[in-house]
Structures are given as C-alpha cells and as structure tokens.
Amino acid sequence: MTGPHPGIHDLSLATTHYRLDHDTLARHLGVDPAKFHDGLGQDSMSVPAIDEDIVTMAATAAAPILARHGTDRIRTILFATETGADQSKAAGLYLHGLLDLPTTCRVVELKQACYSATAALQFATALISREPRQQVLVLASDIAAYELGSAAEPTQGAAAVAMLISADPAILRLEPHSGLYSGDVSDFWRPNYRTEAVVDGATSISAYQDAVQAAWSDYQRHNNRELSEFAAFCYHQPFTKMAHKAHRHLLDSTDADAGLEAAINASTPCNRAIGNSYTASSYIALACLLDHRDDLAGQPVAIVSYGSGSVAEFLSGIVQPGYRRHLRTTANVQAITRRTPITYERYRTLHQARFPTDGADHDLPQESAAPYRLAGISGHKRIYQSRKADDTG
C-alpha cells in the first residue's frame, strides 16, 4: 500500500505597490546602468509603500488560493520570513485574522535566513503524510533592505509567495529524498539591534556555492538521478546573476554538460524585476519557470534553496499532468507590471521611514492599492485592514 505523495497544489505570488528602476538608481549613484543590468542581472526592485509589510504581501498572495479552494481542510499555517513583525507573535496570526481562517489550525513562524520556506514545505509534507486529508498553507514573505550607498543596495526587493500543500498536488509532486547541508558561517546576518543586514559579500558568494555543491552531493547519496536528468533548476536568487554563478559552479564541480546552463533561464525573469525576496525567492523562481517554459508535465525539476548562516537543500519534484490549468500566469505578470515607478527621492524617504515606538495611536496614509494594508500602530499593536473593510466603512 502506497501512501500520499504530497506537493504543491496551488501557488500564488504578490509584490509591492512601488518599484525603483535600476536606471534611476544608477543615475543617482553616477554609475553605468550596465553594472546593475549585466553585472547583477537586475532591472528594478520592488519597494513597499508605507502601509505594506510582510503580512499584507502574504495575505495578498494567499487570498486567491483560499478563494479557489476554501479553508475547511487547512489545519496548519507555516509563515517563513526573516523580516518578522514581532519578536514573539507569529506573523501568520495577523494574516489569520485578516483572512478569517479557521480557529482549528496551528500557526507557526519559521526563521533561517532565506532557507526557511523550504523547511516549511518539508514540514508540511510530513504533516500531510501523517494525515492526508489536511492541507497546509505555506507562506514566504520578506523585505530585503540594506544600507543606502552599500554594495548590496541594488539587490534589494520584496515579495511573497503562498503555497497550498496537499496529498494530491495539481502542480508539483515533491520527491521524498533531498540533499542537505548546514554549516556555521557569518556571511549575512542581522542582529536584533539592526534594521538592515550585515553582509560579507565575498564570503556569501563562496558560502552559497560550497553549500549548494555539498547539498547536491548529499542528494546523490539518496538518489540515482544525474544533473542532466532535470528539465530545469530553480535557485535562490539574492541577485539574478548569483543563480547563474551557483549553477555554473555546480556544473563545473560535477563535470556536467555546459549546455545545462540554459536550464535556469526561464526561472529568472521575475527576480530581475522584483529583486531579492529572501524566503520567497526560490519559489518565485518556480512560479516563473512554470509560467515561462513550454510543457514540463511529467518532468523532474530541481529547487535549490540557500539561507545564509548557512543552510542549503537540494530538492526535486515532478511536474504534474495538467498543471497549466492551475497556474496563475496572468495574475503573476500583473503583480509585477502594475507596480508604480518612483523617484530616487521617494524611495529614499520610504527606505528611511521607521515606525513609531511610543505605543501611541499612529495612522498610516493609504498608498497601497493591494487588498490588504497596515493601517496603523496603536498601543504597540499593528492594525491591519482589508480593502473590503475600508470600502464598507
């Protein structure tokens, strides 16, 4: 008797109201735009409006999934982020109230740099293997922010992904064995007393490449598949060219066919436009791949997840027959193309904005056109609203 084969049943993404074009940033910094377009592989970055955060983006990504499938079978909500809204309360509980989710479910936040969405996905499959009728809502939402003028500034971004995990997935069936790697390295971290991360760029690149190679080696110890058997690869993309660097490093380390370099191309256009989305990045790459590639039904794809500090995982899945009927290609394109371009001055103001910490009542202006917004702070509590609630007074 065979058990369930859990995987991704639905997949939706969201990003911010604003974008900063890298041509605009290059003009302000007095550098050649090719440094960003070609050197980093970035064309623009998503910038949150003053009333947007990880919760509003995650709710916007999750709402279409709940509208399509309902909430009766959701027993667990796993929220992966490294941009937590509270040191104690899980961000998923804010979303739980916004989306009117069942009280009969567990809600947990997971953190390990950019990796934790993959941990959430694996935990979800374990829960479903034990109780196949349940579904798990996995959310990954982050805002990548670095100091103005730093080398990492052009790699900023923000986005969220929502995934419904079930025993009978319509999009991607996850394979049972993955490759793992963990090691203590200080390549990127953010102490509690800082709003921006500390980055050692050179160490981060080498740590990423070494971790991916080690995770692949572990994958091979449990699986007979070779790199050449994968139809495509979806890498974590702190900047788009990093995916190409990591893939090239993996191919070189395994003496794989150089022709496999093209196997990541369809997974990168969204990241070029959005920028780094931390925990959401590998799964935005997956959505991008499924939206842009010719039919992948029945073929294996690899998801390569990395989180600084560092943890890496090489996992694989089989694209399911009929998966195209379940994609959200038009909505995903619109989420990116409808962002409003802003000036460098407006971006700088948003970047430097800080929420008050005095516990008094502070209303936030309505800027975002998204269905959910952060309306204000009152008594140290975050106040969220849905657009429907706003419209009805």
Crossing angle of helices 91-98 and 54-69, in 10° steps, is 50
Distances in Å between the Cα of 14 and the Cα atoms of 134, 333, 338 are 25, 10, 11
234 given a catalytic annotation? no
Mark residue 198 as left, alpha or beta (left: phi above 0; alpha: psi -120 to 50; beta: remaining).
beta
C-alpha dihedral over 287, 261, 219, 225, to 10 degrees?
100
From the list 114, 234, 270, 288, the catalytic residue is 114
236 given a catalytic annotation? yes
Q: Beta strands 106-110 and 74-80: pairing type? A: parallel
From the list 17, 236, 247, 351, the catalytic residue is 236
Are the C-beta atoms of 143 and 53 separated by less than 8 Å? yes
Q: Which of 191, 199, 193, 83 minimizes the C-alpha distance to 150?
A: 199
105 given a catalytic annotation? no
Half-sphere exposure of 216 (CA within 13 A, CB side): 25
From the list 9, 52, 82, 351, the catalytic residue is 82
The two tokens of residue 53 are 């955060």
Strands annotated E in 145-258:
157-166, 172-174, 179-182, 188-189, 198-199, 232-235
Question: What does the buried/exposed string (b/e) look like for 24-38 if buried means 16 or more CB atoms within 10 Å of the residue's CB?
Answer: bbbeebeeebeebbe
Q: Which residues pair with 381 in a beta bridge?
A: 378
Bond into 46 cis (ω within 30): no
> What are the residue numbers of the active site?
82, 114, 236
